[in-house]
Amino acid sequence: MPAGEDAMDVRNPLLQDWQTPYGLPPFAELRPEHFEPALHAAMQQHRDELAALGANPAPPDFDNTLAAFDRTGRRLGRVAATFYNLTSSATSPELQAVQRNVAAPMAAHHSAVYNDASLFRRVAALQARCETLGLSPEQQRLLQRVHTDFVRAGAQLAPAAQARHAEVMQALARLMTRFAQNVLHDESSWQLPLHGEAELAGLPDFVRANARQAAVDRALPGHVVTLSRSLIVPFLSFSTRRDLREQAWRAWTGRGEHAGEHDNREVVRDILRLRNEQARLHGHACYADHALTDTMAGTRAAVQQLLGQVWPRALEAVERERQQLLAVMRDEGVAGEIEPWDWRFWAEKVRRQRYAVDDAEVKPYFELGRVVQAAFDCAQRLFGLQFTARDDIPVYHPDVKAYEVRDAGGTVIGIFLQDNFARPTKRSGAWMSSLRWQHRNAEGGGRQLPVILNNNNFARGGAGEPTLLGLDDARTLFHEFGHGLHGLLSDVTYERLSGTQVLRDFVELPSQIFEHWINEPEVLQRHARHHQTGEPIPPALVQRLQRAQRFGQGYETVRYTASAMVDLAIHALNDTEPPVDVCAWEDELLQQAGLPHGVGLNHRLVHFQHLFSGGYAAGYYVYLWAEVLDADGYGAFTEAGSPFDPAVAEALRRHVYASGNSVEPGAAYAAFRGRPATVQPLLAKRGLVPEAAAA
């Protein structure tokens, strides 16, 4: 009988062996009340496993300490993964209550694991003689990463500091849960009904269809604009009703900034205060310094150098774009400033006039099902993968589609779940997650199949109508699918090193490099077909899309870089008390940095889930860091003369997608590319050098 089994309620399906295809969770049997007792029982089982490991009288060696540690907590991992995927993708008031209840106990359990003195003594003893143990490179990497995990969790702190560190982490877990639930409340509770043709003015058919379906989903008549990005961005781009655009923009940017129960302003301050204390406990002056010690960048100076290379060029680019927008405004007799709710509207007009690209013309060629098949086809041509739909695999919502994934030899290598539509019970954004990581560190040494999820938030087409994506949405799907491939293609021995469990500023490389294929004419000609006629996208339209590709990059780069600068700056504060008014502090910082009026930023602090309910605090820069790698890395295909060159694809698979965290990321990239990355391809890709902007 496994440790802790006698404490388990046999009526709880979470605590049984799952007799489902490929051992997926039995979602149809699960109820919110199952999770809290299951998590506590699984934590107890994990503690029992670790107690046996720590009490082992044999001297520590790799197998009885590191490999054994990597095998512990598997039941807890599967229950927690199931729970957190549901609270992100298909939540309910009951699940949210459980989430609040278990936030602190789960954080306390993590602290207890990594503050276990007997365990750390064994790990530290191995780390001290790492060079003499005769370990393989992957084993050395596991030892280094596990030792780092212990240290960063406070294992080396004095007892009083260690206890306080655990308290801080529990408080942070509660606050980050509250932050995320506050944002979801604001996103799911706001809606803008559109009454009659006057309020639908300017909206193309696809936006009207999405707004009509959003109303149906909420049991409302007519058309409704929600805060789903795939609906609000097109609304801001096409609606001729400036007053309604302003309402929508203010709701979108005001999430988390409302007095009352769901106000995130004080939550942000509490999180910042605790993170500052966490950093000081580790001997760092500020949280940014603490967070960056375990990244490729390593220091604030390295991040600031990258942002400093991009920010002034982005400001120049966005000013060139502003002048184009102003010229169209003046031609149409519109005076005054470009306000934040105007920029996308006038940019769409410039795109149509200067590049003859109209989103309403483009979208019919990007039906969701065809874009999914395009991603699958690229994975097959690059890596030999085959995706087969399986209706018998359990899923947690009717929107979710399950696929069995096989390699070129026909061997099943993983299960892929894709959940593409926005729902009121689903958090915003797009993300990859896992129900199970690939590894071979199990009895018998066989390969554990990964179960990988992609979540998007596309606005669903109306009943009987297709879901049409803009090119940006298609890129998002390819981006998350790149993360998914990182999990599916993982080929490592130890679970701790599997898939996307890499340094934060490397994790976006596999996703961002995969975005390149949706822009390839060869891919577009094969898969971008009109949803009504089946005709392929005209070559002339592809050429226009390529010419227009750099338009708007100044706007997007400024918005992204501004958010990264705010993130780094607020986590670099070393005062005990954070700013009294974080929104005013944010505005002042951006004004000093020269953020142009009307542009805005990707995420304001009060709804910045990457920072305050995710793992990107002091790390939002990583998308830009990884883009240096992806722009430089895709050049290997360009130099080879084909986006599907077999030799380059194999090097990409082996050194980037398959290696997980088994290799130091700088070395992994150099092994793929044959050299370190350079920044020039990024600047050219974003049109941040004059010759590229003019091309």
Residues with catalytic function: 480
Closest CA to 456 of 434, 437, 432, 483: 432
Q: How far apart are the first and last CA of the chain?
A: 68
Q: Which residue in the block uniquely carries the two structure tokens 């769409």?
A: 348
Phi, psi values for residue 649, rounded to 5°: -60, -40
Q: Is the dihedral of CA 221, 222, 227, 231 positive or negative?
A: positive
Classify residue 130 by its DSSP letter: G
CB 276 within 8 Å of CB 187: no
Closest CA to 343 of 356, 330, 353, 329: 329
SS3 436: strand
Distance CA 134, CA 62 (A): 10
Phi, psi values for residue 389, rounded to 5°: -65, 140
Distance CA 536, CA 542 (A): 10
Instruction: Indicate the helix (H) or strand (E) that contains 224.
Output: strand 223-225
| Tokens found for residue 662 | 């088994």
Q: Is the dihedral of CA 169, 170, 172, 177 positive or negative?
A: positive
Write down the H helix ranges in 572-689.
582-593, 609-612, 622-640, 646-652, 665-673, 680-685
Alpha-carbon Rg for the chain in angstroms = 25
List, edge to edge, every strand of the sheet that includes 451-458. Answer: 386-389, 401-406, 412-421, 451-458, 431-436
| Tokens found for residue 303 | 């991040």
Count of C-beta atoms within a 10 Å radius of residue 204? 16
Distance CA 481, CA 368 (A): 14
CB 135 within 8 Å of CB 143: yes
Q: Which residue in the block uniquely carries the two structure tokens 């089946």?
A: 534
The DSSP line for 84-123 is HHHHHHS--HHHHHHHHHHHHHHHHHHHHHHT-HHHHHHH
HSE-up (13 A, CA, CB side) for residue 213: 22
CB 428 within 8 Å of CB 183: yes
Distance CA 213, CA 194 (A): 13
User: CA 118 from chain center: how many Å?
Assistant: 35
Closest CA to 609 of 294, 274, 289, 268: 268
CB 302 within 8 Å of CB 568: no
Phi, psi values for residue 372, rounded to 5°: -60, -45
CB 670 within 8 Å of CB 511: no
